Amino acid sequence: MAWTVTYDLEEFRAAAGGFLGARPARHTTLLTVVSSLAAVGSGRYGDQPPYFGWWTGEGPPDGAGAGLVRGAFLCTPPYPPLLSPLSGEAAQALARTLAGDGERPVTGVNAGRETAETFAAAWRRLTGTVSSVEETTRLYRLGALTPPDPAPPGRPRTATAADRDLLISWCEGFARDTGALRGDTAAHVDDKLGYGGITLWELDGRPVSCAGVSRTVADMARVALVYTPPELRGRGYAGAATAAVSRAARDAGVKELLLFTDLANPTSNALYQRLGYRPVEDHLLLSFAPAAHAVPEQGHPS
C-alpha cells in the first residue's frame, strides 16, 4: 500500500474521482474544491500550486481489490491539507510521506475527527511539533426542508453581476466574522456568480441577506457563505435565504445537500436544524507549530 502524490489535477481526478464520488457526503469538501479548481484554474485558492494524493490498498488475501483507491487528500496552500476518512495505517503513512518532503510545508490538517487526530499524532512523532484545535465543525445533511414559519417579509432572487460590489463587501464581512474565508474575495464572488451560486433575500428591492451553494458534484452540493450584515440580523433573513437556496438546489436535482457549522456558534446550529438539516459527523481543523507557538490556520471556504 502506498501514497501517490501529484501536482496534476487531471491525474488525480482520473485516479481518485470514482472513490470520492462513491461517497459524496463524506468527501464533500474534496469534491467541491476539485470542482472549483477544474472550473477556474489552479490559482483559485492561492498563488502556490495545489497538490493531491491517493492511497491504494492491497485488497483481501485473494487479491480482489488490489490497487483500488482507499483514501485521498488535497492541499491548496496556504490552506492545510484536506483528508478523506483514512485508516490509521493510511493516515500515518501520509504523515511520513509529507514529512519527508521539505518542498511542501504542512501547517495543519482538516479532516474528520478521528482521521485528523491520527494524522496529528503521527505528525507530532515525526516532526516534534504540537497541534492545536482552531475549529470544530459539524457536517449536516438536509432531510425534509422546513422553511421558517412565519417567514420574514421579502423574497429570494439569484444574485447577478450587478450585485458584485455588495457581495464582495459581504464576503469581507463574512471573513472577519468567521475567519473561514481567506484570499481574494473578489475571485470567490466571481466564481460563484459564474454559475448562479448565490441567492439573495430581498426586502423592498434591497438585498438584506445571502446564502451560497457549491457546484453540484456527484448529485451533491453544499450550502456556504450564509451572511447577513450586523445591523440586519435577528430578523430571520438568513434562515429565509438558506431555505430558498436549499429549495432551489433540491428543485435542480441535488440529492445530497450539505452544510458545515462551527460548533462554537449555537445560533447557527439551531437555525439549520430547524430548517431540516441533520448531523452527519464532526470535523477538526488543527494547526501545527513548534511547542507553545501555535499559528492559526483557517478552514477551507468551498
The mean per-residue pLDDT over the stretch 5-21 comes to: 97
The mean per-residue pLDDT over the stretch 288-298 comes to: 60
- Residues 166, 199: one domain? yes
The mean per-residue pLDDT over the stretch 243-253 comes to: 97
In a domain, 299, yes or no: no
296 pLDDT more than 50: no
CATH code for the domain in which residue 7 is found: 3.40.630
Higher-scoring residue by pLDDT: 179, 83: 83
- Residues 206, 165: one domain? yes
Domain that holds residue 216: 144-275
- Cα Dmax for the chain: 67
pLDDT of residue 102: 72
Q: How confident is the model at residue 297 (pLDDT cuts 50, 70, 90)?
A: very low
- Residues 57, 182: one domain? no
Helix (H) or strand (E) holding 41: none
Q: How far is CA 199 from CA 131, 208, 226, 300, 302, in A?
A: 37, 11, 9, 21, 16
Count up the domains in the chain and report the number: 2
Q: How confident is the model at residue 302 (pLDDT cuts 50, 70, 90)?
A: low
- Residues 131, 167: one domain? no
- Residues 163, 256: one domain? yes
pLDDT of residue 294: 43
Q: How confident is the model at residue 63 (pLDDT cuts 50, 70, 90)?
A: very low
248 pLDDT more than 90: yes
In a domain, 22, yes or no: yes
pLDDT of residue 301: 55
CATH code for the domain in which residue 153 is found: 3.40.630.30
Q: What is the mean pLDDT of the chain?
A: 91
- C-beta separation of 36 from 215 below 8 A: yes
Helix (H) or strand (E) holding 185: helix 185-194
- Residues 28, 91: one domain? yes
Q: How confident is the model at residue 52 (pLDDT cuts 50, 70, 90)?
A: very high
The mean per-residue pLDDT over the stretch 43-56 comes to: 88
